[in-house]
Structure 1
Amino acid sequence: MKKLFCLGLIALVFSASSAFAAKKKVLDAKIDQAIEDFYEHTTAGKRLAEDAAGMLVFPSVGKAGFGIGGEYGEGALFVKGKRVDYYSTASASIGFQIGVQSRSQVILFLEKSALNKFRSSEGWEVGVDGSVAIANIGAGGEIDSKTLNEPVVAFVFGSKGLMYNLSLEGSKITKIKKD
């Protein structure tokens, strides 16, 4: 029974990806709000974003798990302040995890070569096609200086819900078309 529940949960998360796929106009509004929230969350992150080669914004990544888990979200890539493409992020996992969570993610490509590698891939997998450092924000909203030396840095914020297990490792990011 537990296995059936877990398989059903995974199927629900991934089937929801197409059923709940946001319309372009709605997604754009959510992305704009997420960027505003990100800039309010950390002024150092805002300064870093302004200098980054690219910024990938996922306003809402939903994750659910009970032993077996999955997550999905849609967002957009910005280059030089302009929205250039839309992407989805998805992953599945097995292991100790329980709960449901929704969070926002901003991934900054600090080096042009990392951005070019990301954009030229058919599907970019975190930890396989590129390493992503999760930013540690200290007192006063400052970012750990060790993180600033990485070519790709992620910020996770606005978590709603409770989930034990935070990692972007294994997330597959794929270009999508939006109407």
Structure 2
Amino acid sequence: MKRMKKVSLMLLMMIGVTAFAQTEKEQELTKDAAEAKSELIASYEKLVPFFDDSAGYVIFPNVGKGGLIIGGASGNGIVYENGVAIGKAGLKKLSVGLQAGGQAIMEVIFFEDEESLKNFKDGNFEFAAGVSAVVLKSGKAVNAKYKDGVAVFAKPKAGIMADASVGGQKFSYEAFED
């Protein structure tokens, strides 16, 4: 019991230190990412092992996608390593082709191992053309596996756009200041 209190106190202190090191905008994004994680886990229990067992993950709580022939996507997210928020990420995508509509989604990228996470943090990470996310839909089973050390899930929030591709997405990473 005493040990549990110490562990809880240490976790609270770590969260507090992280919160003070972040700007107000980063704190808001961190809150949004935490809410997105809670929503995803509540709706899709099969995501729990991905959150628990991955080396890290990025939660983009609100990615805007839109297009009419020429399209794009953009969003900001929080990067976690071993369950602890360590920095922020940006997502950008420009595409040309048959597309029409607009959509807001949540996107989560899981990194199976330290090497995959390191590649993301080092800026050596980009999805190849043709890569798609597993689209999370209410009442549907989650069947996904890591591919090349990465698993990607997207959950529509609003809008209609028949496009689950994540190919061509480019990412940026910035560590939180200590």
Instruction: Report the TM-score when normalising by structure 2.
Output: 0.75
CA 1:86–1:110 in structure 2 vs 1: closer, same or farther (change >3 Å)?
same
C-alpha RMSD of the superposition? 2.7
CA 1:87–1:50 in structure 2 vs 1: closer, same or farther (change >3 Å)?
same
- What's 1:144 paired with? 143
Secondary structure at 2:165 match in 1: coil
Question: Gapped runs of 5+ residues in structure 2?
Answer: 1-23
Instruction: Report the TM-score when normalising by structure 1.
Output: 0.75
**Larger-gyration structure (1/2):** 2
Contact in 2 for aligned 1:104/1:158 (Cα 8 Å): yes
Q: How does 1:19-34 map to 2 (within 5 A)?
A: 23-34=25-36
Secondary structure at 2:28 match in 1: helix
Secondary structure at 2:164 match in 1: coil
Task: Supply the distance in 2 between the matched residues of 1:38 and 1:174 (Cα, whole angstroms).
Answer: 23
Task: Supply the distance in 2 between the matched residues of 1:67 and 1:60 (Cα, whole angstroms).
Answer: 22
Letter in 2 for 1:85: G
- What's 1:92 paired with? 94
Shift of 1:138: 9.2
Q: Report which stretch shifted further, 99-108 or 134-143.
A: 134-143
Q: How does 1:1-179 map to 2 (within 5 A)?
A: 23-121=25-123, 124-127=125-128, 134-135=133-134, 142-144=141-143, 147-148=145-146, 150-176=148-174
Shift of 1:33: 0.8
Task: Supply the distance in 2 between the matched residues of 1:139 and 1:62 (Cα, whole angstroms).
Answer: 20
Question: Gapped runs of 5+ residues in structure 1?
Answer: 1-21
- 1:93-130 deviation digits (Å, cap 9, x = unpaired): 11111111000001110122211222222x521128xx
